[in-house]
Chain A
Amino acid sequence: MLSIKNLQAKIEDKQILNGINLEIKPGEVHAIMGPNGSGKSTLASVLAGREEYEVTAGQVDFLGKNLLEMAPEERAREGVFLAFQYPVEIPGVSTINFMKTAMNQIRVHRGQQPLDAVSFLKVMKEKMKLVEIDQSLLNRSLNEGFSGGEKKRNEIFQMAMLEPKLSILDETDSGLDIDALRIVANGVNKLRNKANAVIVVTHYQRLLDYIVPDFVHVLYKGKIVKSGTKELALELEAKGYDWIKDELALA
């Protein structure tokens, strides 16, 4: 589904990604872990198409298409979804109107009829249950005045609505208490199926207790320095990132 080869990227004059290689197949969950500043969020941003980052080398192939050539909205329409670490507050735009616009632009891109108000609301009600989000929240301006947990739940609600093929969760666990974490993780798990894939970017192991990864990769100084299964995450939790740094220093 996603094939990343030797991906290098910088922001302003700072090189952040130094040659990432990663293969993701449908149905898989990959966790990207690493210490602060290792490039985790940059990788998520580059995949979603954030313009501030300049890709200096490498390729990213998504379902047979060159992802890097696409505008952010094209990537979304092709099936990439980024759940933001810090979801943006947009006063004056209600989540409902925004989602209806997004869904219908995606549907048109896929050659489907746009949904009318009634059908849209029906879909919305189903998805709301899935992520345990209240409609009063969705009537309000997008993320404005939402708590940290509400914002993250809104991200997963949007993911449920747009049914992406590849979801990238950027530090979705940050700022969540354990109950909110469980609700968010449950939502993600319910959305998993054989046809879609998830990248979980996280600093801590605790989210991975709920969203269990098939593979764990450790990012350090802009490179994947170690890959393994879910046990690697537990090992990192026990030993800390210094263990990886020391290992690299020795090598």
Chain B
Amino acid sequence: MDVTVNERNISSEVGQLIEKTLAVEQSFPDLRKEAYLTFQRLGLPANKAEEYKDTPIARTLQKNFNFQSASVKGKIDPTQFFIPLVEANVIVFINGFFSKEHSTIISPESEISILPLKEAVKGNNPLVLKHLGKYADFKSDALTAWNTAAWTDGVFLHIKKNQTVEKPVVIYYIQDGSDQEGLSINRNLIVSETNSKCTIIEKSDSVGKQNHFSNTVTEGVVNENAELNFYFIQNDSGNRYQYNLTQFYQSNYSRVNTFTFTLNGKLIRNNLQLSLDGEGIESHMFGLYLLDNDTLADNHTVVDHKKANSFSNELYKGIMDGSSKGVFNGKIYVRPNAQKTNAFQANRNILLTDKATVNTKPQLEIWADDVKCSHGCTTGQLDEEAMFYLQTRGISKETARAMVLYAFAGEILDNVAHAELKTYLDQLVSERLHKNF
């Protein structure tokens, strides 16, 4: 009973925060209002909420956040977090605020237009008016409703028709928790026009001992025969709590490839949802979570096959050390019209300690009869037989362990197409796994 009362408290505290934002934010008043009402109706997910049963987000926020002080602009130098050797358009948010001085756009306007979302709204950008709030489903998730009602900053990416954007776009979400608790609510919109191609990287980093929470929603539409490559690199301090929803709506023959790398942080909840509303679509979702200490990383994915003849493939792999916790929930829907769908999903986990855990749940709901779908999940310890084999060849136990784990992770890295980014990710993973060979 107490728990329920407390949850109501945190939800109403957040509700008050939203009201404060509503009082100052002028854009999308109707959408924000509707989302706020939805938030009030839903409340933050209770402990028994099915979609959050392994990630008690309401309780966690209540325990670790006051939400009293307003966020302030940090003084941190964000360049320390920049991905080296990857020439890119750079968008920086510090404590949720768009930082113009640290952002750089190098791609020509003919390929892509990159605008702070507020600026795009101010200029009555017709695409923003048309698409914002249309894909990220806030009706069933209180955290997305919160974001939709109370976002403050964000970016709008418009990838132009028939254009290949040569340089990727990197969005940095940097939290400075040195002085005080932090809260960031960012919202992004991506419109990929027909026959376009682009790579986008979202990277979150943070410093400081104070807790910080970010709620980031990225929604978008990927039009016919367009390709969108999307990377998440989550390598934060142990005080970062984050909720992310990324939702794309795909048209005929479009291709979306997503990569989610989670290496550090306190609590990470990633909702990744693809709607395949067309034929000949190809979607790949890759995930690699290398967790340690008491990190909790929860990946909830949805692939929704709405029409015939599309393909989706999902591979998430995790290594849990310390007392970390991994959660994977993969939903695949194949609607009645989606005949000849090919949908594959796999989740593989290694637990390195007795205290580390993983909860994995594939959920396939198939209403069409002529489809090929498969799913599989495995969870095991480090392969002792492989370790012994390597050791009998003179390889130290540490190296053998790194070899086996690196090989496990390598299956994800192998799929990264961007060479310099791959080098960078390889280095992150290698360091993490103490690769010394």
Chain A interface (Cβ < 8 Å from any Cβ of B): 48-51, 71-73, 75-77, 81-82, 84, 87-88, 90-93, 97-99, 101-103, 105-106, 109, 141, 158, 162
B174 to chain A, nearest CB (A): 33
Task: Check: B403 CB closer than 8 A to any chain A CB.
Answer: yes
Which of A49, A87, A102 is the one whose CB lies under 8 Å from B395?
A102
Which of B384, B393, B399, B407 is the one whose CB lies under 8 Å from A91?
B407
Could you tell me if B388 and A97 are in contact, using CB atoms closer than 8 angstroms? no
B85 to chain A, nearest CB (A): 23
Could you tell me if B437 and A101 are in contact, using CB atoms closer than 8 angstroms? yes
- Complex: A141 Cα to B411 Cα, angstroms: 12
Q: In the assembled complex, which residues on chain B have CB atoms less than 8 Å from the CB atom of A106?
A: 394
A sample of 12 cross-chain residue pairs with beta-carbon separation below 8 angstroms, ordered by A number, consists of A49-B391, A71-B397, A72-B388, A73-B396, A77-B394, A84-B389, A88-B385, A98-B393, A101-B395, A102-B390, A105-B394, A158-B393
Could you tell me if A48 and B392 are in contact, using CB atoms closer than 8 angstroms? yes
- Closest Cβ neighbor of B396 among chain A residues: A73
Could you tell me if B392 and A76 are in contact, using CB atoms closer than 8 angstroms? yes
Which of A51, A82, A92, A102 is the one whose CB lies under 8 Å from B411?
A92
B422 to chain A, nearest CB (A): 15
Chain B interface (Cβ < 8 Å from any Cβ of A): 383-386, 388-397, 399-400, 403-404, 406-408, 410-411, 437
- Complex: A162 Cα to B411 Cα, angstroms: 28
- Closest Cβ neighbor of A99 among chain B residues: B393
Which of A49, A51, A84, A93 is the one whose CB lies under 8 Å from B403?
A93
Q: In the assembled complex, which residues on chain B have CB atoms less than 8 Å from the CB atom of A102?
A: 390, 393-395
A66 to chain B, nearest CB (A): 18
- Complex: A162 Cα to B390 Cα, angstroms: 13
B390 to chain A, nearest CB (A): 7
A232 to chain B, nearest CB (A): 29
- Complex: A92 Cα to B408 Cα, angstroms: 7
B382 to chain A, nearest CB (A): 12
Could you tell me if B397 and A92 are in contact, using CB atoms closer than 8 angstroms? no
- Closest Cβ neighbor of B404 among chain A residues: A90
Which of A51, A92, A101 is the one whose CB lies under 8 Å from B407?
A92
Q: In the assembled complex, which residues on chain A have CB atoms less than 8 Å from the CB atom of B399?
A: 101, 105
- Closest Cβ neighbor of B408 among chain A residues: A92
Q: In the assembled complex, which residues on chain B have CB atoms less than 8 Å from the CB atom of A75?
A: 392
- Complex: A92 Cα to B409 Cα, angstroms: 9
- Complex: A159 Cα to B391 Cα, angstroms: 14
Q: In the assembled complex, which residues on chain A have CB atoms less than 8 Å from the CB atom of B403?
A: 90, 93, 98, 101
Q: In the assembled complex, which residues on chain B have CB atoms less than 8 Å from the CB atom of A101?
A: 395, 399, 403, 437
The answer to whether A87 and B389 touch (CB under 8 A), given A73-B395, A77-B394, is yes
Q: Is the interface of B mostly helix, strand, loop or mixed?
A: helix
- Complex: A35 Cα to B393 Cα, angstroms: 28
Which of B384, B391, B406, B408 is the one whose CB lies under 8 Å from A73?
B391
- Closest Cβ neighbor of B410 among chain A residues: A92
Q: In the assembled complex, which residues on chain A have CB atoms less than 8 Å from the CB atom of B407?
A: 90-93, 141
- Complex: A162 Cα to B393 Cα, angstroms: 8
- Complex: A133 Cα to B389 Cα, angstroms: 20
B375 to chain A, nearest CB (A): 20
- Closest Cβ neighbor of B405 among chain A residues: A92
- Complex: A50 Cα to B392 Cα, angstroms: 9
Could you tell me if B391 and A105 are in contact, using CB atoms closer than 8 angstroms? no
- Complex: A72 Cα to B388 Cα, angstroms: 7
Q: In the assembled complex, which residues on chain A have CB atoms less than 8 Å from the CB atom of B395?
A: 73, 76, 98, 101-102, 105
- Closest Cβ neighbor of A106 among chain B residues: B394
Q: In the assembled complex, which residues on chain B have CB atoms less than 8 Å from the CB atom of A72?
A: 388, 391-392
Q: In the assembled complex, which residues on chain B have CB atoms less than 8 Å from the CB atom of A109?
A: 394
- Complex: A108 Cα to B393 Cα, angstroms: 14
Q: In the assembled complex, which residues on chain B have CB atoms less than 8 Å from the CB atom of A99?
A: 393
A16 to chain B, nearest CB (A): 18
User: A49-B392, A73-B396, A92-B408 known; 16 other A-B pairs, CB under 8 Å?
Assistant: A72-B388, A72-B391, A76-B395, A81-B392, A88-B388, A90-B389, A90-B390, A90-B404, A91-B407, A92-B410, A93-B403, A98-B390, A101-B395, A101-B437, A141-B407, A162-B394
Q: In the assembled complex, which residues on chain A have CB atoms less than 8 Å from the CB atom of B388?
A: 50-51, 72, 88
Q: In the assembled complex, which residues on chain A have CB atoms less than 8 Å from the CB atom of B411?
A: 91-92
- Complex: A103 Cα to B399 Cα, angstroms: 13
Q: In the assembled complex, which residues on chain B have CB atoms less than 8 Å from the CB atom of A90?
A: 383, 386, 389-390, 403-404, 407
- Closest Cβ neighbor of A100 among chain B residues: B437
B388 to chain A, nearest CB (A): 6
A99 to chain B, nearest CB (A): 8
Q: Report, nearest first, the 3 A-B pairs whose CB atoms are least far apart.
A: A92-B407, A76-B394, A72-B391
- Complex: A91 Cα to B390 Cα, angstroms: 13
By CB atoms of chain B within 10 A, which of A82, A97, A105, A109 has the most? Answer: A105
Q: In the assembled complex, which residues on chain B have CB atoms less than 8 Å from the CB atom of A84?
A: 389, 392
Q: In the assembled complex, which residues on chain B have CB atoms less than 8 Å from the CB atom of A51?
A: 384, 388
- Complex: A109 Cα to B394 Cα, angstroms: 9
Q: In the assembled complex, which residues on chain B have CB atoms less than 8 Å from the CB atom of A98?
A: 390, 393, 395, 403
- Complex: A102 Cα to B384 Cα, angstroms: 18
- Complex: A76 Cα to B399 Cα, angstroms: 15
- Closest Cβ neighbor of A75 among chain B residues: B392
Q: In the assembled complex, which residues on chain B have CB atoms less than 8 Å from the CB atom of A88?
A: 383, 385-386, 388-389
- Complex: A91 Cα to B393 Cα, angstroms: 17
Q: In the assembled complex, which residues on chain A have CB atoms less than 8 Å from the CB atom of B394?
A: 73, 76-77, 102-103, 105-106, 109, 162
A97 to chain B, nearest CB (A): 7
- Complex: A248 Cα to B396 Cα, angstroms: 44
- Complex: A77 Cα to B403 Cα, angstroms: 18
Could you tell me if A71 and B391 are in contact, using CB atoms closer than 8 angstroms? yes
- Complex: A105 Cα to B390 Cα, angstroms: 12
Q: In the assembled complex, which residues on chain A have CB atoms less than 8 Å from the CB atom of B384?
A: 51
Q: In the assembled complex, which residues on chain B have CB atoms less than 8 Å from the CB atom of A141?
A: 407
